[in-house]
Amino acid sequence: MDIEWKRKQITSYLNTKWLGRSLLYMEQLDSTNIQAKKLGEEKAIHGTVVVTECQTAGKGRRGRNWISPEGNCYFSMLLRPDILPEKASMITLVAALAVCKAIEEVAKLDVRIKWPNDVVCNGKKLCGILTESSTDELHLTYIVVGIGVNVNQKEFAPEISHMASSLSLLKGEDIEQAQLLGSIMNWFEMYYEQFLETQDLSVLLKEYNALLINCGKDVKLIEGDAICVAKAIGIDSDGGLIVQDVNGQKQTIISGEVSVRGLYGYAE
Ligand code: BTN
């Protein structure tokens, strides 16, 4: 398919002011995050988006690979927010909210967020988000938010098939990637602007918690070899997960320090 045609197709679904107005589409890339970071160093404008059909070196969290065959959505957004570096991780939660809304809108599936930023349906992961930032002394120079959504993938490797699925497998029909990409960007721009007003998640708390699969449920908290069970209450305005132990004692979990799992599996 012609590259310029594909770029225009994605753009036709956008109603953003600045996000994706500069959009690079490639049939294949190593990783959209790698390319967006290069553009970040080259002073590309805030809101630049890199999209590809497949990745040869897709990156997941914690140094994992993100297997990236054709048929899914892989893209990265380059942002230059004027915020403190420690606030950057909250943008990942903003992105998860946007992905959920877009999937609901385009695929009409009932999706949820597994804290902090996995999007799940029927207990299986549909989307992963990797945010990387660059700082210059005390300031953020840019953030790259990379999003991979399993859209039309029909098969998963045996080691992940119990916890991963795609929109087309759940829906029983293929979903147009360009429409989903456009919708994610539309939702993201709106939520991102709301986030910037307060530089925290206070305005988005209610909507995020309404989609949080763990809300009000017991979860397993895994920290190294230690596992304990607590009830998840919801996120606070900084994106931490508030949990309550059997004695009613509340504690806030910070992303990256503790893994959260459902009692019966990956999500629930
Ligand atoms: C995770 O481990 O859950 C995060 C996966 C993030 C994958 C996306 S695909 C588009 C972007 N480019 C990458 O190399 N990674 C992110």
For ligand 1, say whether the CB of 66 is within 6 Å of any of its atoms: yes
Query: Which parts of the chain sit beneath pLDDT 50?
Result: none
Which residue among 59, 99, 126, 131 has the greatest number of ligand 1 atoms within 8 angstroms of its CB, and so is best to mutate? 59
pLDDT at 1: 62
Find all residues with CB under 8 Å of 104, minimum gap 6, and list them: 110, 111
For ligand 1, say whether the CB of 208 is within 6 Å of any of its atoms: no
Distance CA 96, CA 148 (A): 11
pLDDT at 167: 98
Distance 129 CA to ligand 1 centre (A): 5
pLDDT at 119: 96
Q: In what order do the strands lie in the sheet with 250-253?
A: 250-253, 241-244, 226-235, 218-223, 259-262
- How do residues 194-222 score in pLDDT, each as one tens digit? 999 999 999 999 999 999 998 888 888 88
pLDDT at 61: 92
Distance 202 CA to ligand 1 centre (A): 26
- Within a 10 A sphere around the Cβ of 25, how many other Cβ atoms? 22
Distance 33 CA to ligand 1 centre (A): 8
Residues β-bridged to residue 125: 120, 164
- Please state the atom number of ligand 1 nearest to the C-alpha of residue 64: 2
- Please state the atom number of ligand 1 nearest to the C-alpha of residue 55: 14
Distance CA 164, CA 166 (A): 7
pLDDT at 65: 94
pLDDT at 41: 96
Q: Please provide the DSSP assignment of 74-92 as one string.
A: EEEEEE---S-GGGTTHHH
